[in-house]
A and B are shown apart, each in its own frame.
Chain A
Amino acid sequence: MSKMNLNRRSFLRATALAGGGMMLGLYPKVAALAQPGRGAAPALAPNAFISIASNGIVTITAKNPETGQSARNMLPMMIAEELDVEWKDIKIVRADLDAKYGSQFSGGSTATPGNWEPMRQIGGAARHMLIAAAAQTWGVPEAECSTASGRVFHKASNRSLGYGELASKAATMPVPDLKSLKLKDPKDYKIIGKTTIGAETKDVVLGKPIFGIDVTVPGMLYATFQKCPVYGGKAVSANLDAIKAMKGVKHAFIVEGQPITGNFMTSDPGLEPGIAIVADSWWAAQSAREKLEVKWDEGKWATQNSVDIAKKADEISKQPAARTLRKDGDVEAVYKSGAKVVEGAYIYPFISHAPLEPQNCTAHFQDGKMEIWATSQTPQNGRGMVSRILGIPENNITIHLVRGGGGFGRRLNNDYMCEAAWISKTVGAPVKLLWTREDDMQHDYFRPGGFQYLKGAVDSNGKLVAWQDHFVGYGDGERFTASGNIDGGEFPARFVPNFLMQSSVMPLGLKTGALRAPRSNVYAWVFQSFIDELAHAAGKDPVQFRLDLLSSGTPGGMNAERMIGVVKLVAEKSGWGQRKLPKGTAMGIGFHFSHQGYFAQVAEVTVLANKKIKVNKVWSAGDIGSQIINPGAAENQTQGAVVDGMSELLQEISLKNGRVVQSNYHQHPMLKMSQTPPIEVHFIKSNNSPTGLGEPALPPILPAVCNAIFTATGERIRTLPITKQGFSFA
């Protein structure tokens, strides 16, 4: 991730407000936008507005989409801190999609690292201009002025002016050179590092209509969209006349969509084929849909089955790998040297995002212009796709960013936006498209499943000396399916002298995409479970084995010292090796580095009769830099990540005759309250710039639980979901 530099990438501009007051905006220099780092996360172009009304009310525009990570609090907190105002005097407003805000994106745990410096600089610049305005008013040097709680003070003459009184004049002051702008010493922080309550928490508890599904537009119709149950299939004909005759139905028509070709999917295909039913209520549209009789052309994937895919992967694993991604030393020589060799095949399924709010979108096409209300995490991409598919210039498309009922990566794609826009344009009326849960679960961009064939060796001193992984995934040639990629740098590369990472791919007729902590959410389970196998083979304590491993690396990428710090902290907090546990109860550990965050987690697990698992407690230790900006939200996110990760141990999406078998939460479960353990959350505040946390806090819990199960039972979980081996949560 590149570090933001406000001077090089953007410029500040101050404007006087009509009726008094000032507005400070940060304008990106367009050429400096989007510089993708490793993984799927483009750099954010930070941009926000502060406006200070003459009555002193400070309004901060939160530019990013909100799907529950509290970005709508955090970005304004950074500004408010340096502006030196009281949090209670801040009003947060939501931005629509607009070029003046630069990139508006939610994903990749990028909001903190991408905004930490520029957001504070914006606040600091505004404060500086308010001081300049006060100094000029009083005819005193700026250096004699100070600020506190939204006022500028001149202590020597016992004078003060509120920001509101100064705002109009401040708007005429020169914007300071941001390089020489002095920001606060962190020890003086009054807002950063203190918990603030969510900007929309009150609306949530009042049941206010703030989500995408709640949008209402005058004259609005309601739509459902039936896609072929087989990916890539399309409707040949349907009983549309009968459907149109049903009560409340206004329109029913086939949407051709875009043809889907190729051996796998690399990105959002946009508008898929299907059948739209538009009615005067959603219930009428959905009731009509249940009477739909369709002749499908199921296309090329109708014979695809999960069991066949698994057999094929097994066959591939016995052949030489298609590609070698990294080779250090000589693993084969180690295996022949008399070292202790361990092998294991790790198999994991596709899983669905299943955000609680099913995909929906409201669109209104009128007079050549499209207005859209969407919960998208990538509204800019969505607007581009709608423009392309419908032939509407981007500047004729308005997008309102509505709160999403969970994202987890699902709303990075904009299929529902394309569908709603197409339907509205076709019927010439505002339309709210709403998917059912079954639509959402069966037409997701799934977390790719995969197969990893591992082999490793420990020497007579118990040191890890060889690591080999044949990754069998999906793709074509050298290309992997979306979020199903792997590379030679995966841990423990650089920490083992003999290391071999290879890959092979199979074609896939299913959409895949990023799920919270993409790749990491299951690779951590593979790598940290197999490290555990090797630790036991070496006869070493799993924590000590990891600390030894982390101490043996060569520089580059992950900072081993920071990881050692969180492993030691979580071991200490959990009392690792210090407590006598009853038979059937054990602790397991996992760590993982992703999205610039360092996390280690320990789970204490009791295995009851019939392989029922009770997770008694979880300890989490993270290092995401020098500040935990909003501690209450950070704790909530971390605990949620642990719950989410535990749920993933239970989930599976499988294919039969090209169709997704699972349709609703009874077949793709989530953890329940009674299954949720107490979760202790700890952070190390290290001397590093703050980074994000929504994603890196998730991966370690999966191996931590499975490693504890092994210690408790002697049974190693090498296949997910854990139910495949007969385990379940009590």
Chain B
Amino acid sequence: MIKLKVNGVTRQHDGDPDMPLLWYLRDELDLKGAKFGCGMGLCGACTVHLNGKPVRSCSTPVSAAANAQVTTIEGLSTDGTHPVQVAWQELDVPQCGYCQAGQIMSACALLAKNPKPNDADIDTAMNGNLCRCGTYLRVRAAIHKAAELTASNATKPATKPAAKSASGAGANLLPRNGGKK
């Protein structure tokens, strides 16, 4: 029997210990946020946190999560108020949206250890998360935005407007250069 905590709730699994964590989360716990994309850890759509570190749940057996803390996108917030979720909405990052739970979980893990990443830090942390629709420029800009939101939440009154997105210009949500710094 495997015991683990998923989004703060204690769970136990009596079935196949080799079953990938992804299928345990999706089909046994009905947490559908993490997605199946490749089954080989190549696309990152299934990314969840295992003791705070991003892992590809499609190729992580449930047994590897024994006595560990698992966080899925459902565990970030129930109302979309986590700064990364806020940034993703403000910049309207998704197109089809299928990869975005994985993108968001990788982004959260990055920001937890590096609260003010530069472009190179972001590219390194996010290169394992593929986006078939090609929303990378917005993903990167949203990570900068989330970093700014977190910093301003920590130090400023809530009424302060969010800092401007990465590089100004542009009539729309995103700067024309896609948030490159």
Query: What is A's interface to B at a CB cutoff of 8 Å?
Result: 67-70, 195, 197-198, 200-202, 204-211, 213-214, 216, 222, 247, 281-283, 287, 354-358, 403-408, 434, 436-438, 617, 631-633, 635-637, 639-644, 647, 664-666, 670-674, 676, 678-681
The residue in chain B whose Cβ has the minimal distance to the Cβ of A202 is: B80
Contact B176 A681 (CB under 8 A): yes
Selecting from B134-142, B147-155, B156-164, the interface stretch reads: B134-142
Contact A209 B32 (CB under 8 A): yes
The residue in chain A whose Cβ has the minimal distance to the Cβ of B179 is: A678
Query: What is B's interface to A at a CB cutoff of 8 Å?
Result: 16, 19-20, 23, 27-28, 30-40, 42-43, 45, 72-74, 77-80, 85, 88-89, 92-101, 104, 122-124, 126-127, 129-140, 170-174, 176-178, 180
When chains A and B are docked, how far (Å) is the Cα of A404 from the Cα of B132? 12
When chains A and B are docked, how far (Å) is the Cα of A208 from the Cα of B72? 12
Q: Nearest-CB distance from A373 to chain B (Å)?
A: 13
Contact B172 A631 (CB under 8 A): yes
List chain A residues, Cβ under 8 A from B45. Answer: 356
List chain A residues, Cβ under 8 A from B94. Answer: 68, 198, 200-201, 204-205
The residue in chain A whose Cβ has the minimal distance to the Cβ of B85 is: A205
Which of B100, B134, B173 has a CB less than 8 Å from the CB of A195? B173
List chain A residues, Cβ under 8 A from B30. Answer: 216
When chains A and B are docked, how far (Å) is the Cα of A647 from the Cα of B132? 9
Contact A673 B127 (CB under 8 A): yes
Contact A213 B36 (CB under 8 A): yes
Contact B137 A676 (CB under 8 A): yes
Contact A201 B88 (CB under 8 A): yes
List chain B residues, Cβ under 8 A from A222. Answer: 27
List chain B residues, Cβ under 8 A from A281. Answer: 23, 27-28
A-B contact pairs, 29 of them (CB 8 A): A68-B94, A198-B94, A200-B94, A201-B88, A201-B97, A204-B94, A205-B94, A206-B78, A207-B34, A207-B73, A211-B98, A282-B27, A287-B16, A356-B132, A357-B35, A405-B97, A437-B40, A438-B39, A617-B177, A632-B174, A633-B92, A644-B133, A666-B42, A672-B136, A673-B123, A673-B126, A678-B178, A679-B137, A680-B176
Which of A207, A358, A636, A637 has a CB less than 8 Å from the CB of B33? A207
Q: Nearest-CB distance from B143 to chain A (Å)?
A: 10
- Given known contacts A68-B94, A201-B88, A207 and B134 CB-to-CB distance under 8 angstroms: no
When chains A and B are docked, how far (Å) is the Cα of A408 from the Cα of B96? 10
Which of A198, A356, A357 has a CB less than 8 Å from the CB of B92? A198
Contact A354 B132 (CB under 8 A): yes
When chains A and B are docked, how far (Å) is the Cα of A673 from the Cα of B79? 28
Chain B interface mostly: loop
List chain B residues, Cβ under 8 A from A214. Answer: 32
The residue in chain A whose Cβ has the minimal distance to the Cβ of B87 is: A205
Contact A406 B100 (CB under 8 A): no
Contact A437 B133 (CB under 8 A): no
Contact B38 A665 (CB under 8 A): yes
List chain A residues, Cβ under 8 A from B124. Answer: 674
When chains A and B are docked, how far (Å) is the Cα of A680 from the Cα of B88? 20
The residue in chain A whose Cβ has the minimal distance to the Cβ of B134 is: A643
Contact A356 B37 (CB under 8 A): yes
- Given known contacts A207-B101, A673-B122, A356 and B96 CB-to-CB distance under 8 angstroms: yes
List chain B residues, Cβ under 8 A from A209. Answer: 32
- Given known contacts A282-B23, A356-B43, A664 and B38 CB-to-CB distance under 8 angstroms: yes
Which of B37, B133, B176, B177 has a CB less than 8 Å from the CB of A640? B133
Contact A642 B133 (CB under 8 A): no
Contact B23 A283 (CB under 8 A): yes
Q: Nearest-CB distance from A70 to chain B (Å)?
A: 7
Contact A356 B99 (CB under 8 A): yes
The residue in chain B whose Cβ has the minimal distance to the Cβ of A70 is: B95
Q: Nearest-CB distance from B135 to chain A (Å)?
A: 6
Q: Nearest-CB distance from A574 to chain B (Å)?
A: 12
Q: Nearest-CB distance from B59 to chain A (Å)?
A: 12
Which of A211, A283, A407, A671 has a CB less than 8 Å from the CB of B20? A283
Q: Nearest-CB distance from A235 to chain B (Å)?
A: 23
When chains A and B are docked, how far (Å) is the Cα of A671 from the Cα of B99? 14
Contact B35 A405 (CB under 8 A): yes
When chains A and B are docked, how far (Å) is the Cα of A406 from the Cα of B24? 24
- Given known contacts A405-B97, A678-B177, A672 and B130 CB-to-CB distance under 8 angstroms: yes
The residue in chain B whose Cβ has the minimal distance to the Cβ of A69 is: B95
List chain B residues, Cβ under 8 A from A200. Answer: 94, 97
Contact A434 B73 (CB under 8 A): no
6 more contacts with CB within 8 A, not counting A68-B133, A643-B136, A676-B178, are: A201-B89, A207-B101, A213-B36, A632-B174, A637-B95, A639-B138
When chains A and B are docked, how far (Å) is the Cα of A68 from the Cα of B132? 11
List chain A residues, Cβ under 8 A from B97. Answer: 68, 198, 200-201, 204, 210-211, 403, 405
List chain A residues, Cβ under 8 A from B99. Answer: 356, 405
List of 6 A-B pairs having minimum Cβ-Cβ separation, nearest first: A207-B33, A643-B134, A405-B98, A68-B96, A207-B73, A640-B134
Q: Nearest-CB distance from B71 to chain A (Å)?
A: 11
Contact B39 A436 (CB under 8 A): yes
Q: Nearest-CB distance from B29 to chain A (Å)?
A: 12
When chains A and B are docked, how far (Å) is the Cα of A641 from the Cα of B134? 7
- Given known contacts A632-B172, A643-B136, A68 and B72 CB-to-CB distance under 8 angstroms: no
Contact B27 A283 (CB under 8 A): yes
- Given known contacts A434-B36, A640-B135, A670-B130, A204 and B172 CB-to-CB distance under 8 angstroms: no
List chain A residues, Cβ under 8 A from B101. Answer: 204, 207
Contact A404 B23 (CB under 8 A): no
Which of B38, B78, B92, B98 has a CB less than 8 Å from the CB of A636? B92
List chain A residues, Cβ under 8 A from B80. Answer: 202, 205-206
Contact A195 B172 (CB under 8 A): yes
List chain B residues, Cβ under 8 A from A201. Answer: 88-89, 92-94, 97
Contact B37 A357 (CB under 8 A): yes
Q: Nearest-CB distance from A434 to chain B (Å)?
A: 7
Contact B98 A664 (CB under 8 A): no
